[in-house]
Structure 1
Amino acid sequence: MTFWKNLKKDKLAIICMLILFVILLGGILAPIISPNDPIEVNVKNKFMLMSFQYPFGTDQLGRCVFSRLLYGTRATVILSLVAMFFTIMIGTILGILAGFFRGWADELIMRICDIMLSFPSEVMILAIVGALGPGLFNVIIANIIAKWAWYTRMIKSIIIQYTDKNYIKFAKVSGCSTWHIIKKHLIPGAVGEIVVLATLDMGHVILNISALSFLGLGVQAPTPEWGMMLNEAKNIMTMYPMQMLAPGLSILIIVAVFNFLGDSLQEALNPKKNVKIKVVSR
Structure 2
Amino acid sequence: MHVWNRLKTDKMAMFCLTIILFFITAGICAPILAPHNPLEMNVLQKYAGISQTHPLGTDQLGRCILSRLLYGIRTTIFYALVTTVITITIGTILGIMAGFFRGKVDEFIMRICDIMLSFPAEVMILAIVGVLGPGLLNVVIANIIAKWAWYTRMIRSVVIQYTDKNYIRFAKVSGCSTGHIMKKHLFPGVSGEVSVFATLDTGWVILNISALSFLGLGVQAPTPEWGMMLNEAKNVMITHPTHMLAPGFAILIIVAAFNFLGDSLHSAINPKISKKRKGGQVNVFIRNKKVVS
- Please give the TM-score of this superposition, normalised by the length of structure 1: 0.95
**Equivalent residue runs for 1:62-73 within 5 Å:** 62-73=62-73
Given that 2:128 and 2:142 are in contact with CA atoms closer than 8 Å, whether structure 1 keeps it comes out as yes
What residue in structure 2 maps to residue 57 of structure 1? 57
When residues 123 and 274 of structure 1 are mapped into structure 2, their CA distance, relative to the original with a 3 A threshold, is closer
Counterpart Cα distance in 1 of 2:55 and 2:162: 51
Given that 2:28 and 2:74 are in contact with CA atoms closer than 8 Å, whether structure 1 keeps it comes out as yes
What residue in structure 2 maps to residue 18 of structure 1? 18
What residue in structure 2 maps to residue 96 of structure 1? 96
2:157 matches 1:177: no
What residue in structure 1 maps to residue 29 of structure 2? 29
What residue in structure 2 maps to residue 157 of structure 1? 157
Q: Which deviations, in whole Å up to 9, do the C-alpha atoms of 1:210-238 show, x marking residues without a partner?
A: 00000001000000000000000000001
What residue in structure 1 maps to residue 208 of structure 2? 208
Counterpart Cα distance in 2 of 1:126 and 1:137: 14
Q: Which deviations, in whole Å up to 9, do the C-alpha atoms of 1:105-160 show, x marking residues without a partner?
A: 10011011111111111010001001001000000000000111111101111111
What residue in structure 1 maps to residue 79 of structure 2? 79
SS in 1 for 2:204: helix
Given that 2:124 and 2:146 are in contact with CA atoms closer than 8 Å, whether structure 1 keeps it comes out as yes
Q: Which amino acid aligns with 1:216?
A: G
SS in 1 for 2:53: coil
Q: Which amino acid aligns with 1:59?
A: D
Deviation at 1:274, TM superposition (A): 9.8
Given that 1:2 and 1:274 are in contact with CA atoms closer than 8 Å, whether structure 2 keeps it comes out as no
Q: Which amino acid aligns with 1:259?
A: N
Q: Which amino acid aligns with 2:9?
A: K
Q: Which deviations, in whole Å up to 9, do the C-alpha atoms of 1:143-194 show, x marking residues without a partner?
A: 0001111111011111111111111111111111110111111101110110
Q: Which amino acid aligns with 2:94?
A: L
2:116 matches 1:133: no
Deviation at 1:271, TM superposition (A): 3.9
Q: Which deviations, in whole Å up to 9, do the C-alpha atoms of 1:65-99 show, x marking residues without a partner?
A: 01001110011101000000000001001101100
Counterpart Cα distance in 2 of 1:92 and 1:272: 25
Counterpart Cα distance in 1 of 2:50 and 2:268: 41
2:227 matches 1:234: no
Counterpart Cα distance in 2 of 1:62 and 1:154: 47
Counterpart Cα distance in 1 of 2:122 and 2:165: 37
What residue in structure 2 maps to residue 263 of structure 1? 263
Deviation at 1:49, TM superposition (A): 1.6
Q: Which amino acid aligns with 1:84?
A: T
- Please give the TM-score of this superposition, normalised by the length of structure 2: 0.92
Deviation at 1:28, TM superposition (A): 1.1
Counterpart Cα distance in 1 of 2:132 and 2:152: 24
When residues 93 and 57 of structure 1 are mapped into structure 2, their CA distance, relative to the original with a 3 A threshold, is same
Deviation at 1:273, TM superposition (A): 7.0
Given that 2:267 and 2:274 are in contact with CA atoms closer than 8 Å, whether structure 1 keeps it comes out as no
Following TM superposition, the consecutive aligned residue runs of length 4 or more in structure 1 with deviations greater than 4 angstroms are: none
When residues 116 and 273 of structure 1 are mapped into structure 2, their CA distance, relative to the original with a 3 A threshold, is closer
SS in 2 for 1:40: coil
RMSD over aligned CA atoms reads: 1.2
Q: Which amino acid aligns with 1:18?
A: T
Deviation at 1:45, TM superposition (A): 1.0
Q: Which amino acid aligns with 2:260?
A: F
Q: Which amino acid aligns with 2:63?
A: R
Q: List gaps (5 residues or longer) in structure 2.
A: 276-293
Counterpart Cα distance in 1 of 2:80 and 2:3: 26
When residues 274 and 167 of structure 1 are mapped into structure 2, their CA distance, relative to the original with a 3 A threshold, is farther
Deviation at 1:64, TM superposition (A): 0.5
